[in-house]
Amino acid sequence: MPHAVILDAQSLGPEINLGAIEETVSNLEVFEQSTTQQARERLANADIAIVNKVVLDAETLQQLPKLRLICVLATGLNNIDLESAKEHNIEVKNVAAYGTASVSQHTLMLILALANRLPRYQRDVAAGEWQRSAFFCLQDYPTLQLSGKQLVMVGQGELGTEVARLAEAFGMQVTFAARPGNEENDKRPALDDLLPDADVISLHCPLSEATKHLINRQRLACAKNSLLLINCARGGVIDEVAALEALRSGKLGGLGVDVLPAEPPRDGHPLLDALGEPLNLIVTPHNAWITPEARQNIVSLTANNILEWKSVK
């Protein structure tokens, strides 16, 4: 039975049962947080490293001759030096589709809130505008009825497909765009062709050279002024500064993001600064995935990864 170490268990959040993983190993050491330097010490006797966001670089991996498996408690692998892992015969396994229900729910929340101009109406109610109104309701910001509107999706994996299903329940017309950078070999329409008619764009694609600033100043100029833009993918898939400029100037109807290029944003970010302005803007702290069910599912999928590795090693 292998010896395993969890380097950043705190990333799973509170009240998560690690029993499924414990059953697959001889001993499970659990650390709430770890730096890369601490990881080198804590993994010295480990066969399995279980990690979410701790960076395991080439220098670290070459100092861990016993390590044979890295289980990432997420889908993204950008914190692992994959070439070095392969060179040292360390298998790397991640988890996918663990939070489909959680993230799709969050995505629809952002679409619905922006469509109904919730940030602006909540701000006005808090400022006493409703109380002072001569009429029984406030109608300063026209809302968007989703039924019959065009939703363009970038990313047709399990998550994108579920968001589309939920959107269709509201009567939206959903079209998936071709994979960015592969439009010539994709039967789906290119994003540029769909953009002028889109009422909502929702992003569910990885960050890559082809998707960095996929939604940029030029594309925003081709979109409707009423467009709602949703990013629950990765920070940097949109040009956040360009999107904020468009929002401020009335060239974008609403912006909802759950991700920023640097997380946590210790040095700040223009979108965070803009939250004090009267804009149809929502920024959530990369927590679309955090329902207890999704977080517990990560543990189950990680245990399955360990069992699969054990069965073939």
Active site residue ranges: 234, 263, 286
Say how far apart CA 203 and CA 212 lie, in whole Å.
12
3-state class of 174 per DSSP?
strand
3-state class of 215 per DSSP?
strand
Q: How far from chain centre, in Å, is Cα 168?
A: 22
Rg (CA), the chain: 22
CA angle in degrees (0–180, nearest 5) for 246-213-224:
35
Say how far apart CA 155 and CA 95 lie, in whole Å.
18
Q: Which residues contact 231 (CB under 8 A, 6 or more apart)?
A: 203, 215, 237, 238, 256, 257, 258, 259
Q: Which residues contact 19 (CB under 8 A, 6 or more apart)?
A: none
Element (H, E) at 150: strand 150-154
* Residue 42 · residue 62 · CB < 8 Å: no
Element (H, E) at 173: strand 173-176
